[in-house]
């Protein structure tokens, strides 16, 4: 605020002949300030969130956060700490870790990627390179995708739960969650892949077709490779959304798992990191909430890291034709 | 507005000219001069429509073997449209419809059962703007032979041959693995020509190949065209009359006739003859106006 | 040149080149696979409808509709209180997201340089990438106790739609900003130039020329924001409370539609129980609301696209 006031004061002394004075009157500056506020309000909230959470989670940035299962009781450590005069019951909680959630989320993310990327990229390639843009099929799929993008995440969980019931598999296994998350991010993958394909200039396609290449050869050898940066950006953003999503997993019966998933992981019961954080956050014991705070910082680091990678790919590697 | 293309020729003699016809007979009449004896491609009553818009009306042309045929005319006269029909690149334009016949060695390339991909393997194309692939120079050349499944004993030799054929070898032989995007515009265009001849086509179509190039690069491409004439049949669209006069054996002059109601311009063939005669002694007044700079 | 030895079509005379279609089975299979993938997205919609409608119908066969469509908070299956909770949360979220999202969109579209936009836009979009569980945690442990009850001294309950709506609003800022920016950028440059040429400054141009011209697109962005807010689950589950409440006071705890769904799923109710089927009835209503909102948004966008 004070900096805006000083700039305004400076403007009154500047000459009208500067040419930009019209944009420097008080109201314009206030307006610009409001826009700046809008732009950075969210970032400021995010910053406050990170700082506040990091402070409350600070005591738990230890290796146990990654190596321990939810509320595992380590007798040796408990004994060592009981000597300090604290209740061993609390101590077990103090060693709450997110091992199963972190492992589970990694399995989930890989499985989700394996499902969503081939399906989404294939669909986008068909719509962009093969289908006639004016065909009824394209129009139906287009509107359908826009609708799917707006379907609440929790409903994707219901769909996956129904699919699992129809197939007759156990609730809470990895593949069910991966199906829900893959379908959830499918519209994002399709839409961003289409945009990436569309940004490849037609001259490249024509050059290839004029040599006698087929449409698929042209797509596979020219268009898709040129669209890879755009596709990866969209896919990474989609996956980063999937990894933080908890609502659909609630519907599938994901829950407290205190053991390592068995091979093959996709049919094993697993826990998801955000869901584990949710459970820890709902716990009444302060030590567990502390662990939740620390877990949030870890989750955010993963997600913001993925976002950063996506943005860097978009800004650095995307060819400007 | 029924613009059934066949009707243009099927108009019976006893009836007065139907008002529904967008093109009157007089304007549509083409002067066909000396026609090549040995032809590679011919168009018969070629009409092209984009949706409801009649882009090209009744074109009859013959392209001679080992000749350079230039298609000239003001912008919007349909010369590029005709060129793109010759290897079925117009198939890629949504709503495009071609009527009439284009014969290639006696086969109608628009006949049922003809594969546009096979057509393009025989009839290559070079575009207005150089469009090398975002790959190395080597891969740009090797791409065509690979995708069409040509049996190649030694790809390195083929690449060298193609680059030599396009008079580019000496300039790029030390940087074959570098990106084609590092080349100058003229080099890129010659690379695109090399890329085309690597697949050993029969006919090469060129769509204003020099319009994006400077004069020096243009003259290099023109020299190359003359050199390629020995082995290929070349059909070139150009907006540059001097270029047509310099390189081509025969020239087809097109004009555009605006529709009175819609203002859409339909391309017509005015005159087709040996280049020398067409430029020195045009038979049609419109040709004369155009080449003497009075119009277009 | 003539040394080219590979089989190519001979120039001119000789056997006529073969132009007939070569069967390309691989190509056909690939095309069929790609088309199946594209069609799968339609199957997903069908699957969603089946997954939600079938158990919802089962619910209505067990429970009279009057016990569902009622404001009686004592009825275990009353949906009106949930709608009130969802509406309150959504309204507060939009109060945050629409002005701020629009402001950010105006800056990105009208003021930011191309280079600045390249980095600023993803920064704004980062907010949509933060997991809702994290927002929920922040709402419960910071926004309500520290900001609302502490700094502002509001006498509100520990879980309420006010706090939930505020964090939810932050989350959907990018949704609103992104679509609003698209519509602002779609306003033709000529309109801006016309205004600037008449001596209007940038603010006047933005507010009086660009903004009205983009109004329908901005409306669409708000509608899309509503559909996001209505469907968000974890934030409202954690922050808004779990009391069925018809009061319009956002400071009191309210159960919401998505909150009920998640809470029931997390609970002990067997999958075949009426309690569990109930959540599908709520989900069907939720799906219908988001579907209508989304269609409205698409229709508005389509109209403004036509305008330019």
CA nearest neighbour of A276 among A302, A303, A294, A301 = A294
- In whole angstroms, give the CA distance from residue C147 to residue B216: 72
pLDDT at C83: 93
Is residue C11 within 8 angstroms of chain B, CB to CB? yes
Both B124 and B135 in one domain: the answer is no
Summarised one tens digit per residue, pLDDT across range A284-304 is 777 788 888 989 999 999 999
- pLDDT for res B197: 92
Residues B97 and B36 in one domain: yes
Which two tokens mark B43? 């168009």
B chain contacts of residue A135, beta-carbon cutoff 8 Å:
none
* Interchain proximity C20–B152, CB inside 8 Å: no
- The overall average pLDDT reported for chain B is 85
pLDDT greater at residue A113 or residue A264? A113
Q: Say if the Cβ atoms of B195 and A211 lie within 8 Å.
A: yes
User: Are B67 and B122 members of one domain?
Assistant: yes
User: What integer pLDDT is reported at residue C278 of this predicted model?
Assistant: 92
Q: What is the mean pLDDT of chain A?
A: 83
Residue among C227, C204, C212 at smallest CA distance from C304 = C212
Q: Is C16's CB within 8 Å of B65's CB? A: no
pLDDT (0 to 100) of residue B290: 87
Asked if the C-beta of C242 comes within 8 angstroms of chain A's C-beta atoms, the answer is: no
| Predicted confidence (pLDDT) per residue in A121-130, tens digit | 999 999 999 9
Q: What percentage of chain B exceeds 70 in pLDDT?
A: 90
B4 pLDDT more than 60: no
Tell me whether residues A187 and C35 touch, CB distance under 8 A: no
- C22·B118 Cβ contact <8 A: yes
3-state secondary structure B209-250: CCCCCCHHHHHHHHHHHHHHCCCCEEEEECCCHHHHHHHCCE
Percent of all residues in chain A with a pLDDT value above 90, rounded to a whole number: 41
pLDDT confidence of residue B76: 82
pLDDT for the residue numbered A7: 44
Percent with pLDDT over 70 in chain C = 93
Give B16 to chain A, closest Cα distance, Å. Answer: 40
- Of B135 and B261, the structure prediction assigns the larger pLDDT to B135
What is the distance between the alpha carbons of residues B54 and A57, in angstroms, rounded to a whole number? 72
Residue B230 lies in a domain: no
Is residue B198 over pLDDT 50?
Answer: yes
Q: Which residues of C touch B157 (CB under 8 A)?
A: none
At residue A228, the 3 state secondary structure works out as: helix
For residue A264, the model assigns a pLDDT of: 79
Q: For A41-65, what is the mean pLDDT?
A: 86
Per CB-CB distance under 8 Å, the chain B contacts of A133 are: 94
Q: Answer with the residue of higher pLDDT: B31 or B90.
A: B90
Q: Which chains touch C (3 or more CB pairs under 8 A)?
A: A, B
**Buried (b) or exposed (e) across B123-138, using 16+ Cβ within 10 A?**
bbbbbbbbbbbbbbbb
Q: How confident is the model at residue A320 (pLDDT cuts 50, 70, 90)?
A: low
Residue B225 placed within a domain? no
- Would you say residue B16 has pLDDT above 70? no
Closest-CA distance, B159 to chain C, in angstroms, reads 11
Q: Is C305 touching A (CB cutoff 8 A)?
A: no
Other Cβ atoms within 10 Å of B280 Cβ, number: 10
Tell me which of A217-231, A237-251, B233-247, C261-275 is least confident.
Answer: C261-275
DSSP for A128-181, written as a single string: IIIS-TTSHHHHHHHHHHHHHHHS-HHHHHHHHHHHHHHHTPPTTBHHHHHHHH
Place A135 in a pLDDT band, splitting at 50, 70 and 90.
confident
Residue B21 has pLDDT above 60, yes or no: no
Do B113 and B157 sit in the same domain of this protein? no
pLDDT band at A4 (very low <50, low <70, confident <90, very high): very low
Q: Give SS3 for B106.
A: coil
| Residue given tokens 């939930």 in the structure block | C164
Asked if C137 and A143 come within 8 Å (Cβ–Cβ), the reply is no
What's the pLDDT score for residue B161? 92
Q: Does residue B126 carry a pLDDT above 90?
A: yes
pLDDT(A318) > 50: yes
Report yes or no on B182 lying in a domain: yes
Secondary structure letter of residue A114 according to DSSP? H
What pLDDT does residue C10 have?
A: 40
Give percent of chain A with pLDDT exceeding 70. 82
pLDDT computed for residue C60 by the predictor: 93
* pLDDT tens digits, one per residue of B60-106: 999 999 999 999 988 888 899 999 999 999 888 888 889 999 999 98
Convert the pLDDT of each residue in C291-304 to its tens digit.
998 888 888 888 76
Q: Does the beta-carbon distance from C6 to B122 stay under 8 Å?
A: no
Query: Residue A100: is its pLDDT beyond 50?
Result: yes
* Cα separation, B124 vs B119, whole angstroms: 9
- Band (pLDDT 50/70/90 cuts) for residue A11 is very low
CATH 1.10.3720.10 correct for C65-307? yes
Is B229 a domain residue? no
Facing residue for C17 by CB, picked from B38, B66, B122: B122
Is the model's pLDDT at C130 over the cut of 70? yes
What range does the domain containing B244 cover?
Answer: 1-8+21-128+207-220+236-296
Q: What angle do CA C167, C169, C174 make, to 5 degrees?
A: 115
Q: Which chains have 3+ CB pairs within 8 A of B?
A: A, C
The percent of residues above 90 in pLDDT, for chain C, comes to 47
CA distance C18 to chain B (A): 8
Determine, for residues C8 and B199 on separate chains, whether the beta-carbon distance falls below 8 Å: yes
Please report residues of B whose CB lies closer than 8 A to that of C21: 113-115, 118
Complex confidence, ipTM: 0.86
Domain A99-317 class in CATH: mainly alpha
Same domain as B141, residue B122: no
pLDDT tens for A186-202 read 999 999 999 999 999 99
B115 and B140 assigned to the same domain: no
**Structural element, H or E, at residue A37:** helix A26-57
Higher pLDDT, B14 or A281: A281
Per the domain annotation, does B148 fall within a domain?
A: yes
Does residue B5 surpass a pLDDT of 70?
no
Name chain A's partners: 3 or more CB pairs within 8 A. B, C
pLDDT of residue B29: 73
Count of Cβ atoms closer than 10 Å to residue C13 Cβ: 10
- Confidence grade of residue B14 (pLDDT, cut at 50, 70, 90): very low
CA B166 to chain C, closest CA, distance in angstroms equals: 10
Give the pLDDT of residue A219: 95
The pLDDT score that the predictor gives to residue C4 is 34
Across the interface, do B127 and A217 touch by the CB < 8 Å criterion? no
pLDDT at A183 over 90: yes
Q: Which of C27, C106, C231 has the CB atom closest to A152's CB atom?
A: C231
Q: Do A207 and B133 touch (CB under 8 A)?
A: yes
Strands B250-258 and B68-72, by their bridges, are: parallel
Distance CA B122, CA B86 (A): 11
Q: Are residues B167 and B248 in the same domain?
A: no
C-beta atoms of B115 and C7 within 8 A: no
**Confidence at residue B179, expressed as pLDDT on a 0 to 100 scale:** 92
**Measured between beta carbons, which residues in chain C are less than 8 angstroms from residue B145?**
6
3-state secondary structure of B61: strand
Q: Report CA-CA distances (Å) from C140 to A4, A288, C238.
A: 34, 15, 7
The total number of structural domains in chain B stands at 2
């Amino acid at each position: 605020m004070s900096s805006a006031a000083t700039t305004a004061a400076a403007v009154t002394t500047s000459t009208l002949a500067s040419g930009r004075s019209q944009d420097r009157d008080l109201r314009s500056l206030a307006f610009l300030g409001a826009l700046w506020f809008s732009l950075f309000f969210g970032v400021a909230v995010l910053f406050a969130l990170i700082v506040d959470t990091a402070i409350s989670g600070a005591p738990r940035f230890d290796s146990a956060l990654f190596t321990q299962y939810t509320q595992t009781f380590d007798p040796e450590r408990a004994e060592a700490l009981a000597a300090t005069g604290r209740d061993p019951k609390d101590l077990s909680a103090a060693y709450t870790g997110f091992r199963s959630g972190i492992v589970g989320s990694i399995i989930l993310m890989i499985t989700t990627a394996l499902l969503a990327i081939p399906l989404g990229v294939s669909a986008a390639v068909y719509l962009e390179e093969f289908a006639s843009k004016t065909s009824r099929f394209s129009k139906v799929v287009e509107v359908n995708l826009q609708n799917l993008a707006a379907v609440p995440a929790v409903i994707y969980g219901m769909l996956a739960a129904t699919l699992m019931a129809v197939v007759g598999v156990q609730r809470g296994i990895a593949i069910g969650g991966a199906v829900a998350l893959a379908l959830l991010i499918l519209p994002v993958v399709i839409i961003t892949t289409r945009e990436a394909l569309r940004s490849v200039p037609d001259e490249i396609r024509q050059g290839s077709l004029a040599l006698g290449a087929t449409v698929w050869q042209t797509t596979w050898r020219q268009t898709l490779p040129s669209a890879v940066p755009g596709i990866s950006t969209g896919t990474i953003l989609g996956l980063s959304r999937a990894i933080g999503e908890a609502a659909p997993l609630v519907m599938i019966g994901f829950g407290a798992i205190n053991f390592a998933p068995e091979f093959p992981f996709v049919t094993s019961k697993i826990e998801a990191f955000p869901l584990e954080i949710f459970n820890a956050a709902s716990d009444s014991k302060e030590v567990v909430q502390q662990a939740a705070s620390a877990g949030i910082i870890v989750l955010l680091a993963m997600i913001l890291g993925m976002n950063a990678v996506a943005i860097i790919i978009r800004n650095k590697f995307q060819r400007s034709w | 507005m029924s613009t059934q293309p066949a009707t243009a020729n099927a108009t019976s003699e006893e009836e007065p000219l139907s008002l529904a016809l967008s093109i009157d007979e007089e304007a549509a009449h083409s002067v066909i001069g000396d026609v090549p004896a040995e032809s590679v491609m011919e168009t018969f009553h070629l009409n092209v429509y984009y949706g409801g818009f009649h882009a090209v009306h009744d074109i009859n042309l013959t392209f001679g073997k080992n000749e350079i045929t230039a298609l000239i005319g003001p912008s919007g006269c349909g010369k590029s449209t005709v060129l793109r029909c010759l290897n079925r690149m117009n198939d890629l334009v949504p709503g495009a419809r071609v009527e009439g016949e284009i014969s290639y060695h006696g086969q109608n390339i628009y006949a049922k059962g003809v594969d546009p991909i096979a057509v393009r393997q025989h009839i290559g194309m070079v575009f207005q703007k150089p469009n090398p692939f975002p790959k190395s120079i080597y891969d740009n050349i090797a791409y065509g032979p690979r995708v069409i499944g040509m049996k190649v004993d030694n790809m390195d030799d083929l690449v060298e041959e193609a680059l030599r054929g396009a008079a580019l070898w000496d300039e790029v032989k030390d940087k074959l693995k570098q990106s084609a995007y590092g080349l100058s515009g003229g080099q890129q265009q010659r690379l695109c020509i090399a890329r085309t001849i690597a697949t050993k086509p029969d006919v090469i179509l060129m769509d204003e190949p020099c319009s994006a190039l400077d004069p020096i690069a243009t003259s290099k491409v023109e020299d190359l065209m003359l050199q390629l004439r020995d082995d290929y049949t070349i059909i070139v669209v150009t907006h540059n009359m001097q270029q047509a006069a310099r390189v081509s054996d025969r020239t087809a002059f097109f004009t555009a006739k605006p529709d009175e109601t819609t203002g859409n311009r339909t391309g017509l063939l005015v005159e087709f003859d040996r280049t020398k005669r067409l430029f020195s002694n045009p038979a049609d007044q419109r040709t004369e106006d155009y080449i003497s700079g009075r119009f277009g | 040149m003539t040394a080219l030895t590979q089989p190519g079509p001979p120039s001119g005379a000789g056997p006529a080149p073969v132009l007939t279609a070569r069967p390309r089975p691989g190509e056909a299979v690939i095309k069929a696979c790609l088309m199946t993938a594209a069609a799968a997205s339609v199957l997903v919609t069908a699957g969603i409808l089946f997954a939600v409608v079938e158990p919802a119908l089962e619910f209505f066969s067990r429970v009279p509709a009057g016990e569902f469509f009622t404001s009686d908070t004592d009825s275990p299956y009353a949906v009106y209180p949930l709608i009130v909770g969802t509406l309150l949360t959504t309204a507060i979220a939009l109060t945050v997201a629409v002005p701020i999202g629009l402001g950010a969109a105006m800056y990105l579209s009208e003021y930011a340089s191309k280079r600045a936009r390249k980095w600023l836009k993803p920064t704004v979009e980062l907010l949509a990438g933060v997991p809702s569980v994290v927002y929920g945690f922040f709402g419960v442990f910071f926004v309500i106790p520290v900001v609302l009850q502490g700094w502002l001294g509001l006498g509100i309950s520990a879980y309420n739609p006010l706090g939930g709506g505020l964090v939810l609003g932050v989350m959907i800022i990018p949704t609103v900003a992104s679509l609003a920016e698209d519509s602002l950028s779609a306003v033709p440059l000529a309109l801006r130039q016309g205004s600037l040429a008449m001596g209007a400054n940038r603010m006047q141009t933005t507010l009086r020329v660009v903004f009205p011209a983009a109004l329908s697109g901005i409306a669409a962005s708000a509608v899309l924001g509503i559909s996001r807010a209505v469907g968000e689950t974890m934030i409202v589950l954690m922050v808004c409370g779990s009391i069925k409440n018809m009061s319009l006071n956002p400071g009191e705890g309210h159960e919401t539609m998505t909150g009920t769904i998640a809470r029931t799923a997390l609970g002990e109710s067997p999958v075949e129980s009426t309690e569990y089927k109930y959540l599908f009835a709520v989900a069907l209503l939720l799906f219908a609301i988001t579907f209508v909102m989304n269609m409205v948004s698409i229709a508005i966008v389509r109209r403004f696209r036509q305008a330019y």
